[in-house]
Structure 1
Amino acid sequence: MLGFISSRIIQALAVMLAMSMLVFLGVFAIGNPIDVMLAPDATQDIRAQAIAFYGFDRPIWEQYLRFLGRLLQGDLGSSFVYNIPVMQLILSRLPATLELTLIAVISATLIGVPLGMYAGYRPDAPLSRFIMAFSVLGFSVPTFWIGLVLILTFAVTLGWLPAGGRGETATVFGLEWSFLTADGWKFLLLPALNLALFKLSMMIRLARSGTREIMLSDTVKFARAAGISEWGVLRHHVLRLILVPIVTVFGLEFGSTLAFAVVTETIFSWPGLGKLIIESIGSLDRPVMVAYLVLVALLFITINLLVDLAYAALDPRIRRGRNA
């Protein structure tokens, strides 16, 4: 087991190194931030001083090595636009994205799994057909279109909820959170609903397929023969067996939603990481762009590593097969 863990960690570090190189080179190829940072009438001497100050006159390999050295020390550089450390900037925006993502993914799981289990338990019932039709709609309709419809309906037409922003926040451990205030929840509801619809559809279909498969298995037949009630079968056997893929998907979807909530945050003017990266791309704020993409890569690599290790711990055949 120790050898398996070591090999997976080494692979993860190698992938992270390759991703950092690709991210740095990709961002380096996008425009010239000096053109955005300086006024159009800046003299050539000022431009040359700015280029030398930020190290843009160095060869690209030297710039990458300097970036890698700072990265290993936990230093992601300073933002060109905000003129503060990138880590401080990201941490100031992270709570907004984190609470939005958690509310969306958790609510989608808590609602989608029971609906999917019912659709798998009674596949021919009218309600089950409606649930599956809804899941198809959630997969098919673009997120940005749903967001605009939600704003038009609940903010513009009905006036029940605000169209954008974050609202009142409460500070805990130096970080601002919206879910701790009643006003913050008003601003949270629409973007969280928009972000949760696709995840809800995924959880419904995943739970339904797992329930249909398990309901036809010998495990359920033996449980019924032993006199266990249908509720007991669903709770103790079906739910327990479908939880492994659901937990895996929950972790991966949480990572993807946290990293790519760009569309929702842009539509609802939610001041999170997604909106930050869009602003950074517009202003060619390279340190923020590189730091964001590196952290996203680190997030996915870490999640995949934890999933691999969890599977290896649960099923010894996996680690034996991979070591063979």
Structure 2
Amino acid sequence: MIIYTVGRILQTLLVLLVISFIAFLLVATLGDPLGILLPPEASLAERQELILRLGLDQPMLGRFLHFLWGMLHGDFGLSYRTQQGVGAMIAARLPATIELAFVSLLVTLFVGVPLGIVCGVKPNSVVSRGVMLVSIAGITLPNFVVGVLLIAIFSVQLGWFPSFGRGHTVDLGGWTTGLLTVSGWQAIILPAITLAAFQVTFVIRMLRTQLLEVGQSEHIRFARARGLSERTVWFSYAMRNALLPTITMLALQLGNVIAFSVVTEGVFAWPGLGSLFLQSVQSADIPVIAIYLIFVGAVFMIINLFVELSYPLLDPRLRKGRA
């Protein structure tokens, strides 16, 4: 198990290195940092200072090593659009995106998992049929349509929740949060529901499919033949096998929410990484786009690593095989 864990960590680091090189090529080959960061009246000494600071006087390999060394020390380059540090810009937007992803995941868990269990255990019930019918809308409707509908109903018509912004935030020493204020919770509810709409329907359908498949397996028939109650059969035997693909899907969906919440953040003017990425694309801010690419890759690789390492904890058979 230890060898497997070390191997997976090394594979993750290798993939992150490849992603970092691709991001470096974006910075190195697109745009003219001197022409963008320096004013037209800049002196030769100022140009030379910026060249040395950015490592533009080095060969390609040296520049890539300089790029990696800077990231390891918290130097992610300068934004072409604002001429601020990219690391500071991402750090300022990261809390909003993390909180939005966290709340949307809670909505997914507390709504999608119970309904998925109901639909899997009693697929022919009236509740199950109604949930599956409603879930079609969650799959087919794009996020921005769901967001606009929620704004029209709960912000414009009823006036219960704000339609944009993050509300009042509290600074906890480097981390700003809106989850400690009433207006912060009011502001996060609609975008969190918008992000969770597709995830909830996806969890319901996947968990239902897994439970129906596991329910027809031989070990479930054997458990019933032993006289075990239906509750014990489903929750002690079937759920364990159905959880593995569901957990994998939930983890990857969490990565999707963190990395690709661009549309939802744009609809609700949410000050997170998605809106920062959208602004950077519109202004061709290559350094921010490159670091965002590395961040997305790191999020997916780290989540995938934790998911794979958690499999043996959920299924002892995998633990014995990898040992």
CA separation in 2, counterparts of 1:266 and 1:139?
Answer: 20
Q: Give the TM-score of the pair, scaled to structure 2.
A: 0.85
Q: Is the Cα–Cα contact under 8 Å of residues 33 and 284 in structure 1 kept in the other structure?
A: no
* 2:95 matches 1:95: yes
Question: Which residue identity is paired with 1:53?
Answer: L
Kindly state the Cα deviation for residue 199 of structure 1 after the two structures are TM-superposed. 0.7
* Superposed counterparts of 1:4-83, under 5 Å: 4-32=4-32, 42=40, 49=46, 53=50, 55=54, 58=57, 61=60, 62-83=62-83
User: Which position in structure 2 is the counterpart of 1:148?
Assistant: 148
Pair 229,262 (structure 1): closer, same or farther in 2 beyond 3 Å: same
CA separation in 1, counterparts of 2:45 and 2:132?
Answer: 61
User: Which deviates the most, 136-145 or 225-234?
Assistant: 225-234
CA separation in 1, counterparts of 2:206 and 2:139?
Answer: 13
Kindly state the Cα deviation for residue 191 of structure 1 after the two structures are TM-superposed. 0.3
User: Which deviates the most, 56-65 or 152-161?
Assistant: 56-65
Secondary structure of 2:270's counterpart equals: coil
CA separation in 1, counterparts of 2:48 and 2:278?
Answer: 24
Kindly state the Cα deviation for residue 29 of structure 1 after the two structures are TM-superposed. 4.5
Q: Is the Cα–Cα contact under 8 Å of residues 32 and 284 in structure 1 kept in the other structure?
A: no
5+ residue gaps, structure 2: none
Kindly state the Cα deviation for residue 212 of structure 1 after the two structures are TM-superposed. 0.6
CA separation in 1, counterparts of 2:78 and 2:184?
Answer: 30
Kindly state the Cα deviation for residue 162 of structure 1 after the two structures are TM-superposed. 1.1
Pair 47,215 (structure 1): closer, same or farther in 2 beyond 3 Å: farther
Q: Give the TM-score of the pair, scaled to structure 1.
A: 0.85
Question: Which residue identity is paired with 1:149?
Answer: L
User: Which position in structure 2 is the counterpart of 1:175?
Assistant: 175
User: Which position in structure 1 is the counterpart of 2:278?
Assistant: 278
Pair 238,173 (structure 1): closer, same or farther in 2 beyond 3 Å: farther
Secondary structure of 2:164's counterpart equals: coil
Kindly state the Cα deviation for residue 46 of structure 1 after the two structures are TM-superposed. 6.1
* 2:233 matches 1:237: no
Q: Deviations over 1:111-163 (max 9, x none)?
A: 11111121122222232222222223222221122212222222223322211
Kindly state the Cα deviation for residue 83 of structure 1 after the two structures are TM-superposed. 4.6
Q: Deviations over 1:19-48 (max 9, x none)?
A: 111122135444445666567xx35x5699
CA separation in 2, counterparts of 1:150 and 1:51?
Answer: 53
Aligned residues: 317
5+ residue gaps, structure 1: none
Secondary structure of 2:176's counterpart equals: strand
Identity, % of aligned positions: 37
Q: Is the Cα–Cα contact under 8 Å of residues 166 and 188 in structure 1 kept in the other structure?
A: yes
Kindly state the Cα deviation for residue 202 of structure 1 after the two structures are TM-superposed. 1.1
Q: Is the Cα–Cα contact under 8 Å of residues 34 and 47 in structure 1 kept in the other structure?
A: no
Question: Which residue identity is paired with 2:238?
Answer: V
CA separation in 2, counterparts of 1:224 and 1:141?
Answer: 40
CA separation in 2, counterparts of 1:305 and 1:59?
Answer: 35
Kindly state the Cα deviation for residue 204 of structure 1 after the two structures are TM-superposed. 0.3
CA separation in 2, counterparts of 1:16 and 1:106?
Answer: 28
CA RMSD of aligned residues (A): 2.9
